[in-house]
Amino acid sequence: MDYLPVAVLIAILIILTIIEKVGKNKKPLFKAFLSMLMGISALVIVNLTTFLTGVNIPISVFTVGVSAGGGLPGITLLLFLNLL
């Protein structure tokens, strides 16, 4: 079994938690998890609306990592790169 995607998501969660903690947030783990969840949800929504919009972002370790690590700005970056 390939554990690379799980390891990437855990590493991103740890990095986001550290960034949130340094920023003096009260619930850094929750905010980091929420950011990851919003990014991955946006990736799923973009792919579910492909038949309406014609825009598709292929699911891979890279796109899941960018969407989890970057949140909504990460999805915006992937959509912009998809246009090029």
Question: pLDDT tens digits, residue range 33-77?
Answer: 888 899 999 999 999 999 998 888 998 888 988 898 888 898 999
Contact 77/70 with Cβ under 8 angstroms?
yes
Is the pLDDT higher at 62 or at 8?
Answer: 62
Contact 42/67 with Cβ under 8 angstroms?
yes
Distance CA 55, CA 12 (A): 26
Report pLDDT for 1: 58
Instruction: Give the predicted TM-score (pTM) of the model.
Output: 0.74
